[in-house]
């Protein structure tokens, strides 16, 4: 048996076909409630990386058959001593050494680029939650990594949304947030808010609990936000934003975003939600999230599920999510390995 790992170019359609087949098989087997990207969306995602990242892609072949894939993300503008890794092996071909070979490849790419740490995440089963394979955790420990942060994915099932309870929550939030103005938009962020979105997005690593993960705040400016928007558009994603504006300065001080993909209009990822530290305690987080949910539902009639991740210790955000009806599905461990 021979295992060969070789890089591929995202402009090579045959290699992207193989990577897509593997990614789809892994999602269907391991995370059956996840949306599956069709070939077009998968190809567009690979072809349009987020600005400020170099991504190396490779396939593992056992006796010539593609069985696994890896992507190594090398951020260029911040966190330049870190490489983030995604390894997926076709469930039909596990425990044959492909994961180990892909890991060795990723490690070499990272070391050659003078990175000091590898980082990735893997799913686990929560007590009473959906049953998930323990392969990711077993593999991560076998590679010598340490668990650095425990996260929980929660899902909001739109069919189970309690509109009356949401109305009540929204009314409470509005009264605590009296004076703030709510603004919503989809697609391109209005010029007047783009610098504020960049400032808020840059804060995430400072403000959200990060456990033992060694990461520095991302350096995000207006230009990078425009680059992110361009990548999302090129990938065919539809993005819904809601923010709260401080009436005295006219600045956006709270912001949240939902992200719907072209292949699965039934599903949205909850992206960043953040409130400027100077404006906390006014229920702005709850306010913008409920407003954005309704804003997105009005424009995405097929939407049935929204997924969000929080650090297991992020009590404030979790309590907002639970009040809105999000329920825990599975656990996610962020693993870290010093090189
Ligand atoms: C994790 C994953 C990549 C492993 O791929 P693989 O080809 O089966 O891995 P290998 O055969 O090279 O296994 C290497 C070692 O990892 C450990 N390991 C792998 N799967 C395991 C499992 N189910 N339970 C416990 N340990 C496991 C073992 O120590 C194994 O060595 P061994 O077979 O000699 O005992 C694969 O299960 C997968 O794609 N999972 C979903 C995605 C994921 O979690 N990726 C990891 C984070 S990026």
339 secondary structure, DSSP code: -
Q: What is the pLDDT of residues 109-129, one digit of tens each?
A: 999 999 999 999 999 999 999
The CATH number for 93's domain is: 3.40.630.30
Domain end marker among 115, 147, 180: 115
Whether 245 is covered by a domain: the verdict is: yes
143 in a structural domain: no
User: What pLDDT is recorded for position 209?
Assistant: 86
Task: Report the separation in Å between the CA atom of 151 and the middle of ligand 1, taken as the mean of its atom positions.
Answer: 20
DSSP three-state, residue 278: helix
State whether 168 and 303 are in the same domain.
Answer: yes
Output the average pLDDT for the chain.
96
Is residue 287 very low, low, confident or very high in pLDDT (cuts 50, 70, 90)?
very high
- Claim to verify: residue 100 and residue 179 sit in the same structural domain: no
84, 100, 115 — which closes off a domain? Answer: 115
Q: How far is the CA of 204 from the centre of ligand 1 (A)?
A: 31
138 band by pLDDT with thresholds 50, 70 and 90:
very high
* Smallest CA separation from ligand 1 atom 11, residue: 95
Those residues with Cβ within 8 angstroms of residue 33's Cβ, 6 or more apart along the chain or in another chain: 130, 155, 305, 329
Q: Is residue 244 in a domain?
A: yes
Give the count of domains, the chain. 2
Same domain (yes/no): 194, 102: no
Site to probe by mutation for ligand 1, drawn from 139, 146, 336 as the one with most ligand atoms within 8 Å of Cβ, is 139
Nearest CA to ligand 1 atom 46: 136
- In this structure, are 236 and 321 located in the same domain? yes
Which of 70-84, 206-220, 250-264 has the lowest average pLDDT? 206-220
Can you tell me the mean pLDDT for 163-172?
Answer: 96
Same-domain pairing of 107 and 169: no
Strands across the sheet containing 327-338: 3-8, 53-62, 65-75, 82-89, 117-124, 327-338, 146-157, 305-311, 267-275, 252-260, 238-245, 181-186
In sequence order, the 6+-apart residues with CB closer than 8 A to the CB of 128 are: none
Question: What are 327's strand-pairing partners?
Answer: 155
170 with 307, same domain: the answer is yes
17 and 88 part of one domain: yes
Distance CA 335, CA 156 (A): 26
Asked whether residue 89 falls in the same domain as residue 164, the answer is no
Q: What angle do CA 243, 248, 253 make, to 5 degrees?
A: 25
Q: How far does the centroid of ligand 1 lie from the alpha carbon of residue 328, in Å?
A: 25
Average pLDDT for residues 44-54, to the nearest whole number? 97
Would you say residue 19 lies in a domain? yes
Pick the residue whose CA is nearest to atom 42 on ligand 1.
Answer: 88
pLDDT for the residue 120: 98
How much is the pLDDT for 206? 79
Mean pLDDT of 268-281: 94
Q: Stretch 76-90: mean pLDDT, rounded?
A: 97
Same-domain pairing of 46 and 187 = no
Q: How far is the CA of 103 from the centre of ligand 1 (A)?
A: 10
Q: Give residues (CB < 6 A) around ligand 1.
A: 26, 30, 85-89, 94-100, 120, 122, 134-136, 138-139, 142
pLDDT of the residue at 204: 82
Percent over 90 (pLDDT), the chain: 94
Is 124 part of a structural domain of the chain?
no
121 within domain boundaries: no
Residue 235 and residue 184 share a domain: yes
Average pLDDT of the segment spanning 59-76 = 98
Tens digit of pLDDT for each residue in 215-260?
988 999 999 999 999 999 999 999 999 999 999 999 999 999 999 9
- Residue 85 lies inside a defined structural domain of this protein: yes
The reply to whether 105 and 234 lie within a common domain is no
- Judge if pTM exceeds 0.85: yes
| Assigned domain for 128 exists | no
With a cut of 90, say whether residue 203 has pLDDT above it: no
- β-pair type (305-311, 327-338): unpaired
Q: Which residue's CA is the closest to the ligand 1 atom numbered 18?
A: 139
Parent domain of 311: 155-334
SS3 307: strand
* Mean pLDDT, residues 173-201 taken together: 96
Do 27 and 98 belong to one domain?
yes
Atom 30, ligand 1: residue with shortest CA distance: 139
From 95, 115, 135, give the residue that closes a domain. Answer: 115
Q: What is the pLDDT of residue 205?
A: 78
> From CA 219, how far away is CA 201, in angstroms rounded?
9
Q: At 320, list the tokens.
A: 């907002």
């Amino acid at each position: 048996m021979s295992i060969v790992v070789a890089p591929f170019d995202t402009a090579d359609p045959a290699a992207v076909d193989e990577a897509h087949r593997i990614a789809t098989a892994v999602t269907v087997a391991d995370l059956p409630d996840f949306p599956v990207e069709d070939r077009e969306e998968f190809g567009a995602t690979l072809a349009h990386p987020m600005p400020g990242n170099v991504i190396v892609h490779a396939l593992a072949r056992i006796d010539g058959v593609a069985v696994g894939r890896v992507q190594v993300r090398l951020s260029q503008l911040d966190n330049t001593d870190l490489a983030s890794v995604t390894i997926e092996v076709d469930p039909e071909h596990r425990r044959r050494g492909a994961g180990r070979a892909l890991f060795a490849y990723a490690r070499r790419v990272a070391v050659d680029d003078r990175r000091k740490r590898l980082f990735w995440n893997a799913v686990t089963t929560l007590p009473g939650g959906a049953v998930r394979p323990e392969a990711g955790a077993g593999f991560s420990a076998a590679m010598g990594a340490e668990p650095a942060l425990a996260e929980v994915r929660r899902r909001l099932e739109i069919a189970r949304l309690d509109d009356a309870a949401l109305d009540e929550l929204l009314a409470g939030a509005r009264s605590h947030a009296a004076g703030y103005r709510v603004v919503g938009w989809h697609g391109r962020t209005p010029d007047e808010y783009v610098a504020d979105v960049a400032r808020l997005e840059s804060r995430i690593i400072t403000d959200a609990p990060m456990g033992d993960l060694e990461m520095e705040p991302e350096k995000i400016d207006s230009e990078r936000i425009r680059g992110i928007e361009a990548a999302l558009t090129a990938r065919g994603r539809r993005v819904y934003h809601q923010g709260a504006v401080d009436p005295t300065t006219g600045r956006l001080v709270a912001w949240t975003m939902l992200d719907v993909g072209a292949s699965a209009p039934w599903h949205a990822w909850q992206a960043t939600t953040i409130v400027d530290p100077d404006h906390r305690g006014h229920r702005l987080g709850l306010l913008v999230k409920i407003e954005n949910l309704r804003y997105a539902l009005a424009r995405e009639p097929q939407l049935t599920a929204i997924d969000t991740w929080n650090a297991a210790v992020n009590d404030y955000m979790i309590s907002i999510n639970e009040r809105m009806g999000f329920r825990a599905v599975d656990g996610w461990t962020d693993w870290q390995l010093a090189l």
